[in-house]
Each structure stands twice: as C-alpha cells, then as structure tokens.
Structure 1
Amino acid sequence: MAAYRISEDNFLALEVDDLHVDILTGVYSEETHLPQPLKISVRALIRQEAHYEPDTPLILSKNYMDLKHAATDALPKDRHFKLIEAVADHIIDTILMQDDKVLHVQVKIVKLALSEKGESIGITMARARH
C-alpha cells in the first residue's frame, strides 16, 4: 500500500466521543474478574473529496456509526485485554480494515474506575495507514 501524507490544512475528521463501554481489562487481581467501565473516543481522518455537494452520497465519506461499532459491538465481550492499549489497537485495526478511505485513526480511552475526583486517567493511541 502507498504511504499517505496527511495535510494539516485539508482533512475530514469523523469523531465519536465519550462512548461508555464495559470491557474485561486490567492487570491487577481486583480488575480481572469483572468488566471495567471505559470511556472511549474515536477520531478517524479520511480522504477528503474536493467539495461535498448537498447530494453527495455517503460512499464518498464514512458512516459515523462504523466508528461507534468498532468501539462497542466489535470488541469481544468474552476476551480479557490485559492492557487498554490492546483495546485501542483492536479498535484501530477494525476501523482501518473497514474502509481504505481511512488514513489515520486516533483512540482515547479513559479508565473510569480509576477516577477519584473526576480526573481522566488513560491513554491516547494513533496509527496512520501505511
């Protein structure tokens, strides 16, 4: 596949923020037996058309619900992910496989169970299509 250069001036970013998902994840014994609540946000940069006319078909963009699906229903509920990094990798792989128009995916995951005073503790992972 060709390497893509993403312009900082011209891009289309699809975003789905603050999805609450319960996933089997964690390293410590108190985390490993029950699903952990995560807050997941996904941002995907796609190849942009020159202009989007009022009657432009969806095939020239990407359905937002594909991002939501990758971060919710496409995550295996019966699999334990030791690290939330592995959860992010799974989401990124799913989105990149869905559509070759996707050039770059960023996933932010916050472990809600770690918050004591409303702080956000987690990771952000990104990968470009190569």
Structure 2
Amino acid sequence: MQTGFDDFLTLEVNNLHVDVLTGIYSEETHLPQPLRISIRARLRIADHYDQDTPLNQSKNYMDLKHAASTALPEGMHFTLIEAVADHIIDTIMMQDDKVSHVEVKIVKLALSERGEEIGITLGRGRK
C-alpha cells in the first residue's frame, strides 16, 4: 500500500525547560538562561501501523528530548537562540534518515513578565 501525499507522522516533545548559555548582552552571557523548548519532527511513515509494528518504523520520543537537553554541549555559549534551535535540528536529522522536517520553538522565559511567549520558531527540511 502506497501512502498518500497528505499522510504524515509528527512526533512532539513540548515545553521542556532547559537552562542554556545564550544571549548577546553582558548580563545574559555569564549565566544560563531558562528556555522552554518544543520540538516537532515529521517522519516518513510506514505503509500501516498495527499492534505489532516495531519501533524502527517510527522514532523514540526520547531522542527528541535528548537533542534539546543532554545533546547540547555543556558550557558552550550560543549567541542566538536560533543557533540553539539549529543545533537541536542538526542532532535530530543526524539521528535518523526517516526524519524529513524538524521544527523547534524556543521561548525565553526570563523575558516573560505576564505569560507572554517571546522567542522563535525555526524549521528545516531535509536537503
């Protein structure tokens, strides 16, 4: 069975709280900043999923969490949160060639005064 054009599988990990060295202002560059990171990874899908479909026909959700936490280089300063998102995307793309597109949303929690979500969303497709 051939999958249709509109068929897709998106794995999601939302609202991870991660402290990352990032920023351009002197008050930002010496201490990690709290970020809220959400990831959506679109995968090429299997023809069909049934009760016996093995994990290798999908992807482990924890790989996405790892890319936004333990895979970030400890002690590395990212000037822009865009670079943090790019690093996460690169990590996920390298993990699995079934991943066709990754979207990373990063909210800078230190800038939020009344629950605003101030940040970026970066998406990249496999080239």
Which TM-score bucket, shorter chain as reference?
Answer: over 0.9
The partner residue of 2:46 within 45, 49, 64 is 49
Segments of 4+ in structure 1 off by > 4 A?
A: none
After TM superposition, the score normalised by the length of structure 1 is 0.93
Equivalent residue in structure 1 for 2:103, among 102, 106, 111: 106
Partner of 1:3: none
Aligned amino acid, residue 76 of structure 1: P
**TM-score under structure 2 normalisation?**
0.95
Q: Which runs of 5+ in 1 are unaligned?
A: 1-6
Secondary structure of residue in 1 paired with 2:56: helix
**Equivalence for 2:94:** 97
Percent same amino acid at aligned positions? 73
- 2:19, 2:74 → 1: CA distance? 8
1:37-79 per-residue CA deviation (whole Å, 9 max, x = no partner) reads 0000000000011110101000110000000000000001210
Q: How many residue pairs align between the two structures?
A: 124
2:122 is matched with which residue: 122, 125, 129? 125
Q: Aligned partners of 1:33, 1:49: CA distance in 2, in Å?
A: 46
RMSD: 1.0
Unpaired runs of 5+ in structure 2?
none
Q: Which residue identity is paired with 1:110?
A: V
